[in-house]
Structure 1
């Protein structure tokens, strides 16, 4: 089942059968549109957030990745969030809002999608994961940094560290050439402090992470 999130009053989802594709319903707790892949009626299913790349979309990630197929086979829920920034369809990984736990911005919207899904479909809150490509990988790192209380692990493909793209002028979804060109070189302690400052006071466990990068990447040299 796929669901679209809109900015309206929450309505009850339409009942669907196992594996029904592209069912639409409005759930107003989230401002950005999204798609869910919910294969079957499972008890306490895990949840994966699949985050698209710059120029991509929730629908493209749904169609072009294997996550929905794996969900059918192995039994988990996939959320495909859609960035609200339509100029390049990149995620806001630059503004103070999205860099801060329980503030506004894309990271908060994605976290709210997870919270809604866990409640609506009785998901397993101990098995929530994020993955993404490029801009989606950056947002994956952001989700792990800003919401370590929600995510158990993440896999980032061709991204940059959480906070690397931060805008000094607090502009959302903008480009950061210093980071992209590999010039944001800090100590481990400083990178750790960047992450800790996204959720001040948090002392719980941190998500496990897999980070994949290729030397042939001509866009991000971070």
Structure 2
């Protein structure tokens, strides 16, 4: 992949808020059942767990500590934390930070650059190519990763898990032009400018439309 390098543990060992913008322009390639889909990452969000970084993150799945659900977030960087959203969609996060410190970077949106036919088959409701992986649930559906069977898959070594192989590649040179702001749909103060932990490629058509989470707009105005 031109201009990209395979991700390694060291590249993902900093806190999520530091690593997240470095993922932009990178590529996650997933092969499931012999069908490969690659997504160029255009939008991400950082989440810190309990005790991670200088400020507590009330929007994180790991804000209260380690549980069976968020256990992958506490593992070594480069694994993928795949969780179920609204009981339907499997969302994909890249684990980052030192092992034993919880952190995840939600892949919010991307552009399908390989395997469009397979992505369309998994996302028949998508009206345009732009919509195939526009939003975290759509991205998870498009690449074919599923909770719980693929939770914890290693995107650094590419070891197979439940019939899937995932590999993450990062830009050799981080993008210079990056936008940042509040996270999308996150409740309360965690979804305000107090946590400008959403990063995206400006003017990219696959990036999500911002929406306030429950109580976030009120918290922002207080």
Structure with greater contact order relative to length (CA < 8 Å, sep ≥ 6): 2
Fold match by TM threshold 0.5? no
Greater percentage in strand: 2
| TM range, smaller chain | under 0.3
Greater percentage in helix: 1
TM-score by structure 1 length? 0.26
TM-score by structure 2 length? 0.26
Greater CA radius of gyration, 1 or 2? Answer: 1
